[in-house]
Chains A and B, each alone.
Chain A
Amino acid sequence: MEINFLGHYNYWVVIFLMMTGFYVVIARPNLVKKLIGLNIFQISVFLLYISMGKVDGGSAPILAEGIKIFSNPLPHVLILTAIVVGVATTALGLALVVRIKEAYGTIEDDEIQAMEEEMEP
């Protein structure tokens, strides 16, 4: 197995960032903080795709005279769609958080769970 440091540097940093977001999602009880973690995870995935699409010596995929090498436009399109969908899902998640705050008076998931257990006989 050949390990090339520079050839995989982007991917390794992306995995570190992904795991940072993942940690925030599973370790923090605050629901807004969880959504922030989810956003970090999401941006790291975008970065993974865009890194894969890069071609050495290529330029932005816009047709112009004198340019022969382009980076791959396909990941760009997929991620463009994903960014907008990501904001839509974040908005829905935040709306749910606001409703949970109204219903329980807190947005810490351990406190909500304690209240639920109290209510059940």
Chain B
Amino acid sequence: MNIIDVVLLAMMVITALAVVRMRNLFAAVMLLGIFSLLSASLYALLDAVDVAFTEAAVGAGISTVLMLGTLALTGEREKKPHRPAWLPLVVVVVTGAALLYGTFDMPLYGDPNDPIHKHVADRYIERSGQEVGTPNIVTSVLASYRGFDTLGEVTVIFTAGVGVLALLGRGALSRRRRLNKEDDR
């Protein structure tokens, strides 16, 4: 725990609150990019360097571009909600209180004796150098020890890609044009 950690988390809170208040969606998307980049800095601080640069490239980069592309097609003003605002607030406060209660039983932050550090992590750290051979332990775990996870990830990305193509691809486009013409007739 150090001062940079506290400051970065405080900046993330401010950014998230600004996203809630912002009616202009373009500004909200930009703030989300900043939020993502702040989280990337925090990952680097928490020793997760691989996660930090993935978040900076994929989270802050690609998702911002995708969102801006969508805004170009759907418009960037958000309308005022007509429903009452207190009900979601109550739900959120109750859920948050329950989660907060749960943290009291969690092991302390940074303690090397936490249960999370006592199972496979030690083995990865001690033996991945000989067994896999790359100095980066995260790479060894990702590509070798938990390779099936990565295969599953690729399957999910492939499915999402097929889904996007089915919704917006050339085939879907011509089918929609045909339907529109039939409607006009």
- Are B108 and A72 neighbours in the complex by a CB distance under 8 Å? no
- Are B74 and A107 neighbours in the complex by a CB distance under 8 Å? yes
A contact residues around B48 at 8 Å (CB): 50, 53, 60, 71, 75-76, 79
Q: Smallest Cβ distance from A84 to chain B, in angstroms?
A: 6
- Known pairs A55-B117, A61-B137, A77-B146; A12 contacts B100 (CB<8 A): yes
- Are B32 and A23 neighbours in the complex by a CB distance under 8 Å? no
Assess whether A88 is interfacial by the CB under 8 Å rule: yes
Within 8 Å by CB of B70, from A1, A27, A32, A53, lies A32
- Are B39 and A46 neighbours in the complex by a CB distance under 8 Å? yes
Task: Tell me, in angstroms, the Cα distance from A56 to B171 when the chains sit together.
Answer: 54
- For chain B, the bracket of interface size reads 35 or more
Q: List chain B positions with a Cβ less than 8 A from chain A.
A: 1, 5-6, 9-10, 12-13, 16-17, 19-20, 25, 28-29, 32, 35-36, 39, 42-43, 46-51, 54-55, 58-59, 62-63, 66-67, 69-71, 73-75, 78-79, 81-83, 85, 88-89, 91-93, 95-96, 99-100, 103-104, 106, 108-112, 114, 116-117, 120-121, 124-125, 128-129, 135-138, 141-142, 146, 149-150, 153, 156-157, 160-161, 163-164, 167-168, 176
CB-based closest 9 A-B pairs: A7-B108, A88-B160, A27-B88, A71-B47, A56-B110, A61-B137, A19-B96, A63-B135, A30-B78
- Are A62 and B63 neighbours in the complex by a CB distance under 8 Å? no
- Known pairs A15-B96, A22-B92, A35-B67; A73 contacts B121 (CB<8 A): yes
Task: Tell me, in angstroms, the Cα distance from A15 to B101 when the chains sit together.
Answer: 11
Q: List 20 A-B contacts (CB under 8 A).
A: A10-B1, A10-B9, A15-B103, A16-B96, A19-B99, A43-B35, A53-B46, A53-B48, A54-B109, A55-B110, A76-B48, A77-B146, A79-B48, A80-B54, A83-B55, A83-B59, A88-B156, A88-B160, A95-B164, A98-B74
Q: Smallest Cβ distance from B3 to chain A, in angstroms?
A: 12
